[in-house]
Amino acid sequence: MDQTRRKLMLTAAGGAVLAAASVRGALAAAPFRYKYANNLPATHPMNVRAREAAAAIAKDTNGRFQLDIFPSSQLGSDTDTLSQLRAGAVEFFTLSGLILSTLVPTASISGVGFAFPDYDTVWKAMDGRLGEFIRGEIKAKGLLVMDKIWDNGFRQVTTSTRPINGPGDFKDMKIRVPVSPLWTSMFQALGAAPASINFNETYSALQTRIVDGQENPLAIIQTAKLYEVQKYCSMTNHMWDGFWFLMNRRAWEKLPEDIQGIVSRHINEAGMNMRADTFALNGELQTKLAQQGLVFNTPDPGPIRDALRKAGFYKEWQGKYGEKAWAILEQSVGKLS
């Protein structure tokens, strides 16, 4: 009996220890654990800075908030993840304004061809009235958004046939573009033959000469090894693209105000740091891509912009975006239409 009683007591004591450990574990778990999804590799500056922000947020909230990061479209395509964000299955998501335009049409206005001459103009607009206007449009669709947009860089044209030195070089060029009316209409206005091809098919389309060229930021040209099937890279800077840091409204409103403040501060700081990272990376990549065989040139954007104006490209999109949005854009970049 003594041995039996002793075993029961030991078993009970052991159970009590396990129960206490479980309680401590539950108490130690973050009461707010949110998911952040994006479509870029884990090594991209976006995710490097996001991990830094997540660590800082956990520290400053004393472990009350945990940000779990899901890079490389792990939670689904951009369209799928946007749906999850709206439903609340994902709490945070960074998305290009050009793709967000499927929900918020005016979000793509920052990608109008040859609108921004340089980064100074980009940040003046996106940290100023144009960015404020777009954020208002996003909020009107039921989402929330951080103040600072993250950088995806200017887009450049690569070709296998000839460099782009002026608008005439686009004539009859077969160029791959994303599935987007803004891209298609711009290259059609320049006399090119744009083909909407999924990005995962772009390398083979270039390799087999289904298309002569494509356009993307340098980071994507490098990581996708497009330099292997292209000869020229013209630094056209024809479109600027950025990522809005989007939030599910219901999930955000569940957070105490102090946690909201900490999360906002660190996410916006991470976005600013990522901008600097992307700018530095672009300089490094041009040198690296030249070493890998791409021949670089920098055309004058003025004649290309004039050709778009003459073809009615700007007037067309002024009508689509509306007078108010277009006026705000032109206040930032100057007269386009």
Dist CA 30 CA 37 (whole Å): 19
- Does the structure show a pLDDT above 60 at 314? yes
Dist CA 259 CA 32 (whole Å): 10
Joined together, the tokens standing for residue 194 give: 């744009």
Q: Is 329 helix (H, G, I), strand (E, B) or coil?
A: helix
AA identity, residue 251: A
Helix H or strand E segment including 327 = helix 323-333
- In the predicted model, what is the mean pLDDT of residues 4-9? 46
pLDDT, position 3: 52
Average pLDDT, the chain: 90
Least confident of 5-9, 37-41, 62-66, 98-102: 5-9
Please state, as a whole number, how many other Cβ atoms lie within 10 Å of the Cβ of residue 268.
Answer: 17
Joined together, the tokens standing for residue 220 give: 């994507």
Domains and CATH numbers, the chain: 32-333 (3.40.190.170)
Q: What φ, ψ does residue 235 adopt, rounded to 5°?
A: -80, 75
Banded pLDDT at 28 (limits 50, 70, 90): low
- 231-285 per-position pLDDT tens digit: 999 999 999 999 999 999 999 999 999 999 999 999 999 999 999 999 998 889 9
Largest CA distance in the chain: 101
Q: Which of 169, 158, 183, 171 minimizes the C-alpha distance to 235?
A: 158
Which alpha helices (DSSP H) does 142-201 contain, by range? 181-189
- 59-73 per-position pLDDT tens digit: 999 999 999 999 988
- 142-187 per-position pLDDT tens digit: 999 999 999 999 999 999 999 999 999 999 999 999 877 898 999 9
Please state, as a whole number, how many other Cβ atoms lie within 10 Å of the Cβ of residue 19.
Answer: 10
Dist CA 307 CA 269 (whole Å): 39
- In the predicted model, what is the mean pLDDT of residues 317-322? 96
- For 41: left if phi > 0, alpha if psi spans -120 to 50, otherwise beta; the answer is beta
Q: Is 254 helix (H, G, I), strand (E, B) or coil?
A: coil
- Parallel, antiparallel or unpaired: strands 32-37 and 65-70: parallel
In the chain, the percentage of residues whose pLDDT exceeds 90 is 78
- 90-99 per-position pLDDT tens digit: 999 999 998 8
- Parallel, antiparallel or unpaired: strands 174-177 and 92-96: unpaired
Dist CA 149 CA 151 (whole Å): 7
Q: Which of 245, 282, 53, 54 minimizes the C-alpha distance to 149?
A: 245
